Amino acid sequence: MADKNQEIGGIHFPFPFTPYSIQKDFMAVLYQVLENGKIGIFESPTGTGKSLSLICGALSWLRDFEQKKRQEEAHLLKTGTAPSSDGKDQPPFISSSHQETPDTLRPPGEPDWVTQFVQKKEERDLVDRLKMEQIRRKKREERLQQLRHNTQLKYAAKRERQEEEETERLLRLSRDILAAGTEAEPLEQLASGEEDLVLSEYESDEEKGAPNGLNEDEDDLEEEHVTKIYYCSRTHSQLAQFVHEVQKSPFGKDTRLVSLGSRQNLCINQDVKSLGSVQLINDRCMELQRSRHESKSPAEDQEPKRRRRAPRAACPFYGHRHLQLFQDQVLLEVKDIEQLVALGKEAGACPYYGSRFAIPAAQVVVLPYQMLLHTATRQAAGIRLQGQVVIIDEAHNLIDTITGIHSTEVSGSQLCQAHSQLIQYMERYRKRLKAKNLMYIKQILYLLEKFVAVLGGNIKQNPNTQSLSQTGTELKTINDFLFQSQIDNINLFKVRRYCEKSMVSRKLFGFTERYGAVLAPPREQPRLAGFQHFLQSLQPGVTETPTAPVEEGEARVPRPASPLMHIEGFLEALTTANQDGRVMLSRQGSLSQSSLKFLLLNPAVPFAQVVKECRAVVIAGGTMQPVSDFREQLLACAGVEAERLVEFSCGHVIPPDNILPLVICSGPSNQQLEFTYLKRELPQMMDETGRILCNLCNVVPGGVICFFPSYEYQRQVHAHWDKSGLLARLAVRKKIFQEPKRANQVEQVLTEYSRCIQCRGQAGGMMTGALLLSVVGGKMSEGINFSDDLGRCVVMVGLPYPNIKSPELQEKMAYLDQTLPRTPGQIPPGKALVENLCMKAVNQSIGRAIRHQKDFASIVLLDQRYARPPILAKLPAWIRDRVEVKATFGPAFAALRKFHHKKSGLS
């Protein structure tokens, strides 16, 4: 389809077809948000072309920004002086990674000649840097041009990699022959491969400079970071869908786009990928890279009698030439994750590192928002936010995501396992471990012992058989927890850094894999028999029979990560500021079932760095209401001034008469509908709900989705209907499906539900479709597309308020009441949180229907509390403006019958 060029407010927006008016408004507001460095909250319902609006609006701004930057660069290189600026915005030609911060502004009262001298020097430095950037840019463009016209390059690189591997194999063989002639080591001989399990000598950051991590060849892969757009979404499938939209857009041929993913998604080294666990894959990959960069230590040269360690293998897919080729091919053409993996296998280059090296030169970087929102993960991926644009799509649960990323839980069983494993490891390699390693291992053991003690257990006993005298849940501030655990004298920052740098959890996992999961070599069995017995006893439901090795070709179950890996996350959480988090001690009878959980109360702390560094941030979603959570809990607490915030919400593209939202306050027998915890389990309330659904199924064609507040309530209602005969009455008109609890069964249920609707009427009888009983917050309430006949009516049974008795929720409410300002006449922030959580869940559920311009559906809200103005105000605007409140069932049923008869062409 030919591009439809749009001129909106003097700005040229390429578009693949004539856009809706709301898309024009969306792009115009988005452009101004990016141009003026604002924080934007954008709400655009599903089916209104939000993704295309984001792509065309943001890339139009980037196109104009780059053009302006090139013009100013040319002026600077020609004249040697920077164009004048009003001081409000940084000139675009200054690279995003070198932007001046307020802390570096000139001190007041400085002499003019000093100011002029410094300015001239900065301009000269800027000219030099621009020249270097131009050289690098020219090299990249030349390489890309070569690739466009010479497809044989990648095959040449593949042959070269094979030759390099053969050369490396011969060099390794030579080293082995030489090493065979050295004297035997006086220490006890280790088994083959066991040398890798011993911790290397540890030096803290204070004792050595931080390693660069790149060799000279890899320096060539690093370019200056150009101004770019980081696009984030929740899942890899949503990211892939966005990439495909970019490919089909007018910008698809000319945009340098990079898709980022985890090692689990991108790794092509089967030996590493077969480890299964994300943490194990990460650690093994990093160990392979460390093997590449480590040089022989001086201590080895000074000890000729010490048996030399066999050289460890590095990853065969990590090589400069192949990564360079991969990087160029990524920038040459827009690709999604699957295409990157296929390209990596073809080129013999690592897609994970190849895509990371392509970040600096990319114009758009597509990534899961967990990768961007977690500081350590962001830094490890090479993401620099200074002066860049971030777009967070599907952001309705952004606050929960940030909280979840930075919250962690460890069980009593994991604490005991880690302690036992670490003691056995230390005893096994005590003579080979340096003093600092032993010191830190003993500190970790001490921490584990105290964590178990604070739960009321004993680290030396089996956690499965330990009964705790005290049960229940207890919440502590971080400082109180540290004091109560008697670990306030331990520097957790240093312990955390040691765990990260030494990779002790990875070594420990290798050790337990060798001696805990499979039979040890005969000579090791007496020494480690007790260790194996203890490890087996810690696994619930595992017999004491030895575990046989997995036969070749047999399917392997993904191996769980070492318990110490989980505990490292908990240690990191304990370094959070005291006021921003809580530690929950959950004592559940036995030590193995008890746990320590860190709760992040202030999601604004990790998010503040994003909004501070970025030029602009866009938070977008199909349903963002109520937006007060974003304004108050996230942005205001992150230091965003009100004048920097822009809100945009558009209506739907469907005609007004294609949707019928109803609030029904009473049922057919005049039973008042109010599904509170006290009333919803009454038999008459469940009967009334069944009668309403029977009436709806008589007039609604196709599919009906009915959402319940919880799995337990859905089960109770289903059992009651089955007993009373209502289920049989419902089954006359609609085949009944229930949402499964297991994620792997969802696809099957959806397939059968869809088939039943598509085949209705073919077998005769009164069957008109299907009824799907679902759960708010479950697997059907988000990300599932019930378009057209799959979702002609969505029913909400009650208001899905969260459990107010939850200790976590109570603590969060108390925290908000203490920290957020209370507006006169408004409900307290804590109570507002509960209401907002409820309405976010409602909005996500009812958003499953109406998926495109010609779609139609009715939305039925069963609870008289929906009629209250504060609740109605939190519905999406395109639904809120059309809601009809029906006090009795008769008029509501008449309206539904008329709507569906008309839309189905029956009237």
pLDDT tens for each residue of 65-83: 988 887 877 766 667 665 5
Kind of pairing between the strands at 472-477 and 581-588: antiparallel
Q: How far apart are CA 694 and CA 795, in angstroms?
A: 12
Of residues 557 and 479, more confidence is placed in: 479
Radius of gyration of the chain (CA): 31
| Nearest of 96, 84, 123 to residue 37 by alpha carbon | 96
* Per-residue model confidence (pLDDT) at position 696: 93
Q: How confident is the model at residue 706 (pLDDT cuts 50, 70, 90)?
A: very high
pLDDT at 306: 42
- pLDDT greater than 90 at residue 597: yes
For 576, phi and psi rounded to 5 degrees? -70, 155
- pLDDT, mean of residues 767-788: 85
- Residues 11/31, Cβ–Cβ less than 8 Å: yes
Per-residue pLDDT, 111: 64
What is the Cα–Cα distance from 702 to 713, expressed in whole angstroms? 25
**pLDDT > 70? residue 205:** no
Q: Where are the alpha helices (DSSP H) in 820-874?
A: 829-846, 869-872
Instruction: Check pLDDT > 60 for residue 904.
Output: yes
Which pLDDT score, from 0 to 100, does residue 145 have? 64
> From CA 13, how far away is CA 242, in angstroms rounded?
18
Query: For residue 436, what pLDDT is reported?
Result: 87
Question: Which amino acid does the sequence have at 435?
Answer: A
Of 139-143, 388-392, 395-399, which one has max mean pLDDT? 388-392
Using DSSP bridges, classify how beta strands 472-477 and 408-411 pair: parallel, antiparallel or unpaired.
unpaired
pLDDT at position 280 is 79
Task: Choose between 337 and 209: higher pLDDT.
Answer: 337
Adjacent-strand bridge partners of 392: 232, 619
Distance separating alpha carbons of residues 442 and 438, to the nearest angstrom:
6
Instruction: Tell me how far apart the alpha carbons of residues 229 and 393 are, in angstroms, rounded to a whole number.
Output: 12
CA distance 269 to 263: 10
226 in Cβ contact with 360 (< 8 Å): yes
**DSSP per residue, 438-506:** HHHHHHHHHHHHHHHHHHT--TTS-TTTPBPS--EEEEEEHHHHHHHHT-TTS-HHHHHHHHHHH-HHH
Give 88-113 pLDDT, tens digit per residue: 445 555 444 444 444 445 555 566 66
Q: How far, in Å, are 186, 443, 511 from residue 498 at the CA level?
A: 29, 11, 19
Query: What is the residue-wise DSSP string for 396-453?
Result: GGHHHHHHHHT-EEEEHHHHHHHHHHHHHHHHHHGGGS-HHHHHHHHHHHHHHHHHHH
Nearest to 122 by CA among 87, 94, 96: 94
What's the average model confidence in pLDDT over 428-454? 90
- Only one residue has tokens 């007018």, namely 250
| Residue 477 predicted with pLDDT over 90 | yes
pLDDT of residue 410: 92
User: Would you report the helix, strand and coil content of the chain in percent, each value rounded to 5?
Assistant: 50, 10, 35
The pTM of the whole model exceeds 0.75:
yes
**Of 650, 648, 653, which is closest to residue 42 (Cα–Cα)?**
648
Distance (Å, rounded) from C-alpha 752 to C-alpha 738? 11
> Which distant-in-sequence residues (6+ apart) come within 8 Å of 806 by Cβ?
none
159: which residues sit within 8 A by CB, 6+ positions away?
none
Query: Cα–Cα–Cα angle for 190, 418, 315, nearest 5°?
Result: 55
DSSP state of 695: H
Q: Look at residues 777, 827, 864 and name the one whose alpha carbon lies nearest to residue 400.
A: 777
Q: 3-state SS of 564-585? A: HHHHHHHHHHCCCCHHHEEEEE
Q: What is the pLDDT of residues 222-269, one digit of tens each?
A: 567 889 999 999 888 889 989 999 998 999 888 999 999 888 889 999
Task: Write out the two tokens for 527.
Answer: 């020494």
Residue 774 sits at φ, ψ, to 5 deg, of -120, 180
Specify the higher pLDDT residue, 379 or 31: 31
Taking only the tens place, the pLDDT of each residue in 131-168 is: 777 677 676 666 666 655 565 555 555 555 555 555 56
Highest mean pLDDT out of 411-420, 562-571, 774-783: 411-420
Tell me: the pLDDT tens digits for 836-868?
999 999 988 888 888 788 889 999 999 999 999
6 band by pLDDT with thresholds 50, 70 and 90: low
What average pLDDT does the chain have?
Answer: 80
What are φ and ψ of residue 795, in 5° steps?
Answer: -115, 130
Which of 453, 493, 491 has its CA nearest to residue 585? 453
Q: With cut-offs at 50, 70 and 90, classify the pLDDT of residue 189.
A: low
Q: What's the N-to-C CA distance of the chain in angstroms?
A: 37
Sign of the Cα torsion 462, 468, 474, 479 reads: negative
Which of 214, 207, 241 has the alpha carbon at shortest distance from 54? 241
Question: Among candidates 532, 538, 535, which has minimal Cα distance to 462?
Answer: 538
